[in-house]
Amino acid sequence: MRDLRTLGPWLRRFLADYIVTERRLARNTQMSYRDSFTLLLPFISTKIRKSADRLNVEDITPALILQFLAHLEESRSCSVQTRNQRLTAIRSFARFVASRDPAHLAWCAQIRAITTKKAAPQPVSWMSRDEMEALVTVPDRQTLRGRAEHALLLFLYNTGARVSEATRLEVGDLQISRRGDNHALVTLHGKGNKIRQCPLWARTEDTLGELIQGRETCEPVFLSRHRKRYTRFGVYRLVERCAAQVPSLAARPITPHVIRHTCACHLLQAGVDLNTIRAWLGHVSLETTNIYAEIDLEMKAKAMALCSAAAPRPERPWKENKGVMAFLNAI
């Protein structure tokens, strides 16, 4: 780069070379960082009245970043988690610039001094078995589109897969119609290009087998009504549309991640240990999976509160009346 002050070349190197080639981060990470700067640059341009192509690195000041973060929460109604995610992208970019040009070390230190906000943990939302079954059966399986939607919902419930894992799934990732006692398996490509295998129920195997009949191994498993690979937005819209048709779910925000939580909670209720659930969902740390154990403890506490055996019993009298009239009254 000839001009080390211009922001554009730095961003190109950061998003196209550093993220992809050097760090080998996931495609979703690259897109998330891109979205952060897609929002940040127009905001700064408006504030300092300077086009985005003419912005310098030093134009991204701590004061403007704080204003941008406040804008995200107040004007765009973003959550604290989203605010922190955008800040993480900016701080990562600042660290990249300073590592290549020591002249920006002081600027980088000021940017990285901006702290993240402490966010209250979000309650884990999940569905009961009846609610999940009702959601899965909403699509009309008499039509090709309905069968594809039913298969996608059933697959999400069976595997607890992330949306990105489901949309990336190809026919070659499925191992179905295996002979003997071998379970059907699916290979999922998760975060950070981590690969894991997950067993499939018999009904999931049958549903997917019908769906992919006649397709090549390199073709996507789930196709939208336009016969193209499902997008993230398409999966979210499908889940929201089906949930709106279930009376008990209509007023609740149901997303594909709620289905992921539901899968984990039902596995826990079935007696599956936490470490197996961690591997099932593709969590790196067991601490991430522990949230489902806390849910289970809450369910046990509620069950104990409703249990009649836990209710206080009346004190027994010192002497019981064993007369015939007491016997008759007790019947």
Cα distance between residue 161 and residue 142, in whole Å? 26
Which of 83, 104, 150, 162 is an active site residue?
162
Query: Is 260 a known active-site residue?
Result: yes
> Could you tell me how many residues make up the chain?
331
Query: In whole angstroms, what is the distance from residue 43 CA to residue 65 CA?
Result: 9
Identify whether 189 is a catalytic site residue: no
191 classed as catalytic: yes
What sign results for the dihedral spanned by CA atoms 209, 215, 218, 222?
Answer: negative
Please give the single-letter amino acid code of residue 43: F
Catalytic residue list contains 292: yes
Q: What angle do CA 127, 139, 212 make, to 5 degrees?
A: 105
Respond yes or no: is residue 117 known to be catalytic: no
Which candidate in 83, 150, 168, 260 is catalytic? 260
193: left (phi over 0), alpha (psi -120 to 50) or beta: left
Active site residue 257: yes
Q: Which of 86, 150, 261, 283 is catalytic?
A: 283
CA count, 13 A, side-chain hemisphere, 42: 7
* C-alpha distances out from residue 18 to 21, 32, 35, 102, 154, Å: 6, 15, 16, 17, 38
β 195-199/174-175 pair status: unpaired
Q: Which of 5, 71, 112, 191 is catalytic?
A: 191
Just list the catalytic residues: 162, 191, 257, 260, 283, 292
